[in-house]
Structure 1
Amino acid sequence: MTHELLTIGRISVDIYPNDIGVDLEDVTSFGKYLGGSPSNVAVAAARHGRRTAVITRTGDDAFGNYLHRELRKFNVDDSFVSPVKEWPTAVTFCAIKPPEDFPLYFYGRVPTAPDLQIKASELDLDAIKNARIFWSTVTGLCQEPSREAHIKAHEARPRAELKDGQYTILDLDYRPMFWDSEEEARAQVARILPHVTVAIGNDKECAVAVGEGTPDEQADRLLAAGVEIAVVKLGPEGVMAKTRTERVVSAPVPVETVNGLGAGDSFGGAFCHGLLSGWPLAQVLDYANAAGAIVASRLSCADAMPTPDEVISLLAERGRLAPDAVPGAAVPGRDASQLTPEGAAL
């Protein structure tokens, strides 16, 4: 089976408090969820009806069994997920103190974690080569053997130019606790960027990848490194995407924030869905922004990923143009034969 989205990298059990607005030491009860950014992105895209899979590793334990069960529940192919006997499944705690304070506490990642034990020799290179979108993160480059596996996977992909609707996406997801220095991270990102079609990151992540500067300067450096689409998140000002011929900005979609941790992963899955749908870049950003906002307004991450109907409904509530109102755009769940030459619904 050819996957529409194949991700690689981190997976964990997220332990989120049921008590909102208090420090972790004062929490009295928790819930557990599937977590890890690449895994969440696969879940998010699956919620939009896409065929997704994740390449990762768990511990050979009950939490690993739980993650397999959750992936299958969310219709994510877990055939590339296998156990590592030496290391327990990673667990991540957080405190939830809206609107902006969501500290993360990583357990089972020192000195390493199962998802950093992915080996190049274990990769299904045909599956990686043929996937419509291949998604990885900078975190996967932080140590061996994961680093070599990520590099080999990127080398197996078609060249970075947009080719037959294929995209190789790098989430610039820089987490300093996993690296010795920013300089080390920048050197590893430089090895990968020539193989990347789309790079996505916020100001700090882009600065680690290509240096400090304005969002436009950072986007231009990413493009100069070989990327075809540079996406720079602008915080309260929304998100900008830049190609060699186009620059678009999508304003944020205001919601009451409950937990901001999964918003970026929801954005990523929806962004992939928009690319695969062939929508204009501005519409892809609006749709992804709305998807991210929905998850920010909910407690969990994977379990909170929205459906297309929920995203389109929020866009309509905020007076935004829904995808089925874009002339010539593909529409989720609607066959192209149901559109007039101008793209209007029959």
Structure 2
Amino acid sequence: MTLDVLTMGRISVDIYPDDIGVGLADVTRFGKYLGGSPANVAVAAARHGRSTALITRTGADPFGEYLHRELVRYGVDDRFVTPVEGLQTPATFCSITPPDDFPLYFYGRFPTAPDLQLDAADLDLDSVRDARIFWSTVTGLCQEPSRSAHVAAHEARPRDGLPAGAFTVLDLDYRPMFWDSEEDARAQVATILPHVTVAIGNEQECAVAVGHGTPDEQADRLLEAGVEIAVVKLGPEGVMAKTRNERVVSAPVPVQTLNGLGAGDAFGGAFCHGLLAGWPLAQVLDFANAAGAIVASRLSCSDAMPTPDEVTVLLAERGRLVPDAVAR
């Protein structure tokens, strides 16, 4: 079966505090959730009725078993998730101090993590090639053998060989603690961009990928690299998407922020849903923006991903565009 959305890369157990507004040293109660950006995007797309799968690796340990169980519970195919003997499944802690302070602490990722042990020889390249959307992140390029595996996956999807309605998405997700330098990250992004049709990132992430400048200048550089849709997140000003023929901006969808960490992944899964549904770009952005806002108003990431009905209700309440949210 051809998958709607196939994501690749980081997975972890998110250990998030139930105590809000205090530093991590003072938290007394925690909840445990599926985490990692590509895993969350797969969950988010599944919530919108899309067939999804994730390519990643975990430790051969109880936390790895937990992540398998959670993926299946959320409707994500886990057949491409394999264990690595001798490495532990990573855990990610955060503290939550709304509205905008959510520091992350990564454990079990240094000097390496199981999801960075993806090997090109083990990839099901037919599934990668056939997926309607293939989604990866810059983090997957930070270390071998994951770097070569990501290159192989992208090379299996040449831009000029994609059928109509298929997309290859690169999440510019740059996390400096995983890299030697911005220059190293920029060089690795350059190896992938020739295969990418959609690039998504905030202004800092776009600066790492294609250099500093205004959001429009960064989007234009991504388009010059061959990307068909360049999405630049503008923080409090919303999000912009640019093609060779169109420029659209979606204003923020106001909510009371509780935890902003999963908003980008919710945006990603909803963005995939809108692309596959064939909506106009402005509607795709509004829908994705609203999905991100909903998750920002909730505590967890994967467990907070909204359904299409929840997104359209919020859009209607805010007087925004409400597309037909039925998957097709």
Give the TM-score normalised by structure 1: 0.94
Tell me if the contact between 1:239 and 1:249 (Cα under 8 Å) persists in the aligned partners. yes
Tell me if the contact between 1:161 and 1:228 (Cα under 8 Å) persists in the aligned partners. no
Partner of residue 104, structure 2: 104
- 1:158 Cα deviation (Å)? 3.3
Partner of residue 149, structure 1: 149
**Seq. identity, %:** 79
1:78 and 1:120 map into 2 onto residues whose CA distance is: 18
Tell me if the contact between 1:231 and 1:240 (Cα under 8 Å) persists in the aligned partners. yes
Tell me if the contact between 1:160 and 1:197 (Cα under 8 Å) persists in the aligned partners. no
Equivalent position amino acid for 1:290 in 2 = A
Partner of residue 232, structure 1: 232
Partner of residue 119, structure 1: 119
C-alpha distance 160-294 of structure 1, shift in aligned 2 (>3 A): farther
SS of the counterpart of 2:159?
A: coil
Partner of residue 274, structure 2: 274
Tell me if the contact between 1:162 and 1:228 (Cα under 8 Å) persists in the aligned partners. no
- 1:298 Cα deviation (Å)? 0.1
Equivalent position amino acid for 2:238 in 1 = G
1:96 and 1:151 map into 2 onto residues whose CA distance is: 35
1:86 and 1:34 map into 2 onto residues whose CA distance is: 21
Alignment deviations for residues 269-289 of structure 1 (CA, whole Å, 9 cap, x no partner): 000000000000000000000
Number of aligned pairs? 328
Partner of residue 186, structure 2: 186
Question: Pairwise mapping of residues 184-263 of structure 1 onto structure 2 (< 5 A)?
Answer: 184-263=184-263
1:287 and 1:321 map into 2 onto residues whose CA distance is: 8
- 1:159 Cα deviation (Å)? 1.3
SS of the counterpart of 1:134?
A: strand
C-alpha distance 241-173 of structure 1, shift in aligned 2 (>3 A): same
Partner of residue 51, structure 1: 51
1:165 and 1:119 map into 2 onto residues whose CA distance is: 28
2:104 and 2:321 map into 1 onto residues whose CA distance is: 35
SS of the counterpart of 1:323?
A: coil
Partner of residue 75, structure 1: 75
Equivalent position amino acid for 1:212 in 2 = H
- Runs (4+) off by over 2 Å: 160-163
Question: Pairwise mapping of residues 278-289 of structure 1 onto structure 2 (< 5 A)?
Answer: 278-289=278-289
Question: Pairwise mapping of residues 330-341 of structure 1 onto structure 2 (< 5 A)?
Answer: 331-333=325-327
- 1:162 Cα deviation (Å)? 6.4
Structure 1 stretch displaced more, 157-166 or 274-283:
157-166
SS of the counterpart of 2:262?
A: helix
Equivalent position amino acid for 1:67 in 2 = L
1:4 and 1:221 map into 2 onto residues whose CA distance is: 28
Partner of residue 319, structure 1: 319
C-alpha distance 204-100 of structure 1, shift in aligned 2 (>3 A): same
- 1:164 Cα deviation (Å)? 1.6
Partner of residue 158, structure 1: 158
Equivalent position amino acid for 1:309 in 2 = D
Partner of residue 86, structure 2: 86
1:197 and 1:93 map into 2 onto residues whose CA distance is: 33
- 1:160 Cα deviation (Å)? 5.7
C-alpha distance 266-97 of structure 1, shift in aligned 2 (>3 A): same
- 1:86 Cα deviation (Å)? 1.9
Tell me if the contact between 1:271 and 1:285 (Cα under 8 Å) persists in the aligned partners. yes
1:53 and 1:294 map into 2 onto residues whose CA distance is: 23
1:295 and 1:317 map into 2 onto residues whose CA distance is: 16
2:166 and 2:323 map into 1 onto residues whose CA distance is: 21
Tell me if the contact between 1:151 and 1:192 (Cα under 8 Å) persists in the aligned partners. yes
SS of the counterpart of 1:332?
A: coil
2:302 and 2:155 map into 1 onto residues whose CA distance is: 29
- 1:163 Cα deviation (Å)? 3.3
Give the TM-score normalised by structure 2: 0.99
SS of the counterpart of 1:96?
A: coil
1:306 and 1:7 map into 2 onto residues whose CA distance is: 19
SS of the counterpart of 2:69?
A: helix
Q: Report the structure number with the largest CA radius of gyration.
A: 1
Equivalent position amino acid for 2:97 in 1 = K
Equivalent position amino acid for 1:332 in 2 = V
- 1:161 Cα deviation (Å)? 7.7
1:321 and 1:186 map into 2 onto residues whose CA distance is: 36
Structure 2: which 5+ runs fail to align?
none
1:160 and 1:300 map into 2 onto residues whose CA distance is: 39
Alignment deviations for residues 166-208 of structure 1 (CA, whole Å, 9 cap, x no partner): 1000000000000000000000000100100000000000000
